[in-house]
Amino acid sequence: MKKRIFTIIQIGNREDLPSRAFDFFIVINILCNIIAMFMKTFREFENFYPLLQGIEMVTTIVFCIEYVLRIYTAEYLYPEKSKTMAKIRFLYSYDGIVDLLTIIPFFFLSGFVALRLLRVVRIFHLFRINMQYDSFHVITMVLIEKKNQIISSIFIILVLMMASSLGMYSVEHEAQPEAFQNAFSGIWWSVSTILTVGYGDIYPITILGRIMAIVIGFLGVGVVAIPTGIISAGFVERYQKDQRQKDYHKFDKKDLVEIEVTKDLEGKTIDELVRLEGLKIYLVIRDDLSIIPMDQMILRLQDILVAKSEK
């Protein structure tokens, strides 16, 4: 019975009709819960508040039952673990945390009701809009590949934020002590300036403070653009990789040739070689590593290029 419950509640089991029906039942619950949550914010629907509250309660109870069943059948989700460890593993897994966060606000943290929108992830799973099948996978891979650069840029933003807050406090504290009471009170101003939001509720009034604000504003535009550029470049690289992989499967492998990089090709980039020699390069073999070629990749002596002539 437990095994059958697991196969029914398992997400995306398209071959099992009860499992498929359960998936759609959960999706309907998610949509009803979210719609009820939104409609309760309209004064025009005050007369329907008891009904909306009832819908919210029933759908939340369904989520609770599902959550308990997933804990109950966790041993089949993690068969390599013991029953107790499988249940614990599910509790701190991504799905387990999302399910818990969407239930808790109804009972305890009403201010965090927006967390219920995390249930939309279940709809993504149902239609296979998930990490394994489509563009969500590309987004995740780009963030993972560029995580060091992104973390570095965020660190620079935080340093600039703290420095601008401290600098503005030292300049503006005497002129407007109510606005800049301490160094930390300038954080709100520095965030709105560096991130180019500019609410204008706190602003410098001294000449030196305004000069600093101009400089910090220009720096903020440049610094915030750094992670954007990194992520954009990552998407371009990923797109080029995917295109090369698609192209690789479109032609007869007999047309491929292997070219060893000699001294006359050493130091050139892939882009230069493609333009000069009219080659389509699909793979670079370097020190027993197979590398997907990028346009600005510099060739080394004894690299092996798997290519096809475009002439």
Burial tier of 217 (Cβ tally within 10 Å: 0-12, 13-18, 19+): middle
pLDDT reported for residue 246? 62
Q: How would you write the pLDDT of the chain (311 residues) with one tens digit per residue?
A: 888 888 877 765 567 788 778 878 888 888 888 888 788 878 888 888 889 889 888 988 888 898 888 888 888 888 888 888 888 888 888 778 877 877 777 776 655 555 666 666 666 555 544 444 455 667 777 888 888 888 888 888 888 888 888 888 888 888 888 888 877 777 888 887 777 676 667 778 888 888 888 888 888 888 778 888 888 888 887 777 766 666 555 555 566 778 888 888 888 888 888 887 777 787 888 887 888 788 888 888 888 888 877 65
Clarify whether residues 198 and 88 are in a common domain: no
- Give the pLDDT confidence score for residue 132 in this predicted structure: 46
Domain check: are 6 and 124 in the same one? yes
Q: Are residues 126 and 155 in the same domain?
A: no
The answer as to whether 275 is a domain residue is yes
Sign of CA dihedral 57, 62, 67, 69: positive
CA distance to 79, 254, 278, 307, per residue, from 247 (Å): 39, 14, 16, 12
Question: Coil, helix or strand for 134?
Answer: coil
pTM of the model: 0.50
- Token pair, residue 255, equals 């047309």
Q: Is 298 helix (H, G, I), strand (E, B) or coil?
A: strand
Do 206 and 271 belong to one domain? no
Domain final residue, candidates 236, 260, 283: 236
Instruction: Select from 183, 161, 163, 162 the least CA-distant residue to 172.
Output: 183
Per-residue pLDDT tens for 95-153?
788 778 777 777 766 555 556 666 666 665 555 444 444 556 677 778 888 888 888 88
**Distances, alpha carbon 83 to alpha carbons 64, 66, 97, in Å:** 20, 18, 19
44 occurs within a structural domain = yes
Instruction: Quote the CA–CA distance of 74 and 64 in Å, as a whole number.
Output: 15
**Domain-embedded: residue 244:** no
CATH number of the domain that 276 lies in? 3.30.70.1450
> Does one domain contain both 94 and 13?
yes
Tokens linked to 172:
């503006």
Range of the domain at 81: 2-130
Q: What would the DSSP string read from start to end of 139-166?
A: HHHHHHHTHHHHHHHHHHHHHHHHHHHH
257, β-bridge pairs: 307
> Are the CB atoms for 291 and 244 separated by under 8 Å?
no
Report the candidate in 236, 296, 252, 247 with the shortest Cα–Cα distance to residue 271: 296
Residue 222 pLDDT = 80
Measured from the Cβ of residue 35, the count of other Cβ atoms closer than 10 Å reads 14
Is residue 105 one of the residues assigned to a domain? Answer: yes
Residue 129's pLDDT is what?
A: 42
Of 211, 213, 208, 206, nearest to 186 by C-alpha is 213
The H or E element that residue 259 is part of is strand 257-260
* CATH classification of the domain holding 71: 1.20.120
- Residues 16, 116 within the same domain: yes
